[in-house]
Amino acid sequence: MNQARHIAIIMDGNGRWAELKGEKRVKGHEAGAKVVKEITEYCSQNEDIERLTLYAFSTENWKRPRLEVEFLMKLLQNYLEKELPLYLEHNIRFEPIGDTRAFSKTLQKTIKDVEIKTAHCDGLVQSLALNYGAQDEILRAVNKIKNSDSNVTEAMLSNALDCKYDVDLIIRTGGDHRLSNFLLWQAAYAELFFIDTLWPNFTTNDLKLIIKDFKKIERRFGGLK
């Protein structure tokens, strides 16, 4: 039976959720942050799940309205400060991926502080993809190893990536059927689940049902069995 050891989620639909309620888009992001906490806590209590990677802010998200981007930066800052005790209580290690150099010095410090303070935790690993794009990740990895004296191997490239672990299961909420530049290398043999549910409406029960369906899939990895 399959084990969803590494689950990755494209958390889509926050803005639409708010707009359907006649509220500002930022209200959807606030609601979505609460779901991040619930899903992370649930995964930390599931012994089969080792890693949870969440697409929080992409390299393309800078194109959004300035006020929305500024709100997302403040939301991330507040989330990390507020949820540090949750990480420690549930033995969760925080490992961000992406190029965080584009963020403010204050936010960069907070990200690094939470990473350091949870480094000893050996339960679930939660990765937030921050200023992340898979193409950017691969380019940065190539530049790390381009002066190598030997031919580049899959192992060398994989080890140079921000996320060095293959994904078993990718979930995208919000109804769209695409990966949107998320973990393209790591998702080579991931099982993909696209659902219409908007992220603020996503529940632990939704995740349980998806994992249940995932376990029934015959994963052949290019072979016959």
Active site residues: 12, 61
Give 68's contacts (C-beta < 8 A, 6+ positions apart).
25, 26
Which three-class secondary structure string do you get for 55-77? EEEECCHHHCCHHHHHHHHHHHH
CA distance linking residue 106 with residue 170, whole number of Å:
31
Rounded to 5 degrees, φ, ψ at 16 are: -65, -35
CA distance linking residue 11 with residue 9, whole number of Å:
6
∠ CA 101-107-112 to the nearest 5 degrees? 75
